[in-house]
Chains A and B, each alone.
Chain A
Amino acid sequence: MGETVVVTSGKGGVGKTTTSANLGAALALLGKKVCLVDTDIGLRNLDVVLGMENRIVYDLVDVVTGQCRLEAALIKDKRFDNLTMLAASQTKDKSALTPEAVKKVIDELKPSYDYVIIDCPAGIEQGFKIAIAGAERAIVVTTAENAAVRDADRVIGLLEAAKIKHPKLIINRVRPHMMQQGDMLDIEDITSLLAIDLLGVVPDDEFVIASANRGEPAVVNPNSRAAIAYRNIARRILGDSVPLMILDEKRSFMGRIKQIFGTK
């Protein structure tokens, strides 16, 4: 029996879909059977990030309304044997589904997978309720900005109210030099405010954008720092104890000279 995890944030654009795709791929690389479910009806993205847009025949709404069997709507990823996706519908909107109906689909998926990862839409309305309906655990994604942290706080409150206990935190798109200069909230500030367990910190990495545009998860690249962070997070989900990445970028020779003379 698998675990169902919802990836949510409240605020849009902090990297829910990217996180879902990369965690799914990373867990699949570690040998776990993973099903990714996109619940952002009307604004689906997960298929684009995974490069599977052209293979969608049936979607979540079709499954719920009985147009097709669940198995027919599941799309297997050709690169990762263990990764499967259930797409959202692009032509309908969020009112096409009810939380109960989605929970039924998720419960049906659970026995065949180790992890069912649900990609949640932004906001706290119907779409959010649909996404969390079938989830047992939650991952809250935030960036190191006040607005995103506020929304994450609100979402954590709503998750707790919905009896999804102990959500975990991922801080995404961190720029270490901005944190050092105090221009970005630092990790300590965020974790002390939100008061939930930190699952990982993902550095800002242009490669993530590039790979999303190419339609392949960033985790396949062993040189990308974000990819390493996502792999570490996947291992932490499996229960390994992996230390937090040291975010400090290596200083250049001149940078070190400047540091010695106290100008940096």
Chain B
Amino acid sequence: MSRHPDNETVWRQGHSPVTIKGSRIGLTFILHPQFSMEEVLADLKEKLTGKQAHLFSGPTIQVIVSTGDRELSESDIQSLRDVFRLRKNLTLGTIGSLTSGQAEEPSGILMHETANHYPKVHYGTVRSGMRLEHYGDIVVVGDVNPGGQIIAGGNIVVMGTLRGMAHAGCFGDEQSIIAAVYFMPTQIRIANVISRSPDGEPKQATEMEFAYLLEGQMAVDKLQHLSNILM
């Protein structure tokens, strides 16, 4: 990345604080280091909600933020996440300096899979020892048995009984949810939060439920209340 003498020159050359590049994996947002964080955030907000915002509508897209050699503070990362949250279909994954090869990868497990951000629909039972991985959302039409694993960059929906392990938002998206018709998982994970079922005999689930993160804590609620969370 070439350094420019000052901001004015850059603007004149048609650069803006944030450049967006499409790739096989998803979208890469490049934050040019010569702009202040305020300018970056304002430009990002304009791009995501302004006149060009319709460009980002559609299926879930994996987002990588390249910061170059900019040092991001904890609050900067939080502000970035807040801005990306304005668009539900953008899943913020890696934030890091891609040029120096030190990209932060919260979970590198899905990196090998061909990028496809349409929801992955699996028909049939996910049995013990089976592992379903996908960048975006995963829909299982069938049960997930104990010992089966579902790992998604986005949300997980099980059209059956969830008895196994489900990890939604495995790249760190805390907005992800896990929903099931019969919600009886052995363990659920959203982003970096892990929660397990209470000890003892599992109760037969009677209504559709989903799990989400409420202030960093795992919460489970009736599926009817999902709209309240999404608002």
Contacts and interface: CB of A to CB of B under 8 A. Distances in A.
Given A153-B128, A157-B129, A157-B130, A195 B146 contact: no
Nearest to A182: B201
Contacts, number: 28
Given A193-B163, A195-B125, A154 B143 contact: no
Contacts of B128: 150-151, 153-154, 157
Contacts of A154: 127-129, 147
Contacts of A151: 128
Contacts of A150: 128, 146-147
Chain B binding surface, main DSSP class: loop
Contacts of B127: 153-154, 156-157, 160
B149 interface: no
Interface string B112-134: 00000000000001011110000
Nearest to A189: B204
Nearest to B204: A189
A154 B131 CA distance: 12
Contacts of A156: 127
Interface string A164-203: 0000000000000000000000000000111100000000
Interface centre among B127, B143, B146 (most CB of A within 10 A): B127
Nearest to A159: B127
Interface centre among A153, A156, A158, A160 (most CB of B within 10 A): A153
A147 to B, nearest CB: 11
Chain A binding surface, main DSSP class: helix
Nearest to A153: B128
Contacts of B147: 150, 153-154
Interface string A1-32: 00000000000000000000000000000000
Nearest to A124: B129
Interface in B88-142: 125, 127-130, 142
A156 B145 CA distance: 12
Contacts of A157: 127-130
Contacts of A160: 127
Contacts of B143: 193, 195
A156 B127 CA distance: 8
Contacts of B130: 157
A170 B111 CA distance: 41
A195 B143 CA distance: 9
Contacts of B146: 150, 153
A198 to B, nearest CB: 16
A146 to B, nearest CB: 8
Contacts of A153: 127-128, 145-147
28 contacts: A150-B128, A150-B146, A150-B147, A151-B128, A153-B127, A153-B128, A153-B145, A153-B146, A153-B147, A154-B127, A154-B128, A154-B129, A154-B147, A156-B127, A157-B127, A157-B128, A157-B129, A157-B130, A158-B129, A160-B127, A192-B161, A193-B143, A193-B145, A193-B163, A194-B145, A195-B125, A195-B142, A195-B143
Interface of B: 125, 127-130, 142-143, 145-147, 161, 163
Pairs of residues from A and B, 5 with the lowest C-beta to C-beta distance, nearest first: A157-B127, A154-B128, A153-B128, A154-B129, A153-B127
Given A150-B128, A156-B127, A157-B128, 6 more contacts: A150-B147, A153-B147, A154-B147, A157-B129, A193-B143, A194-B145
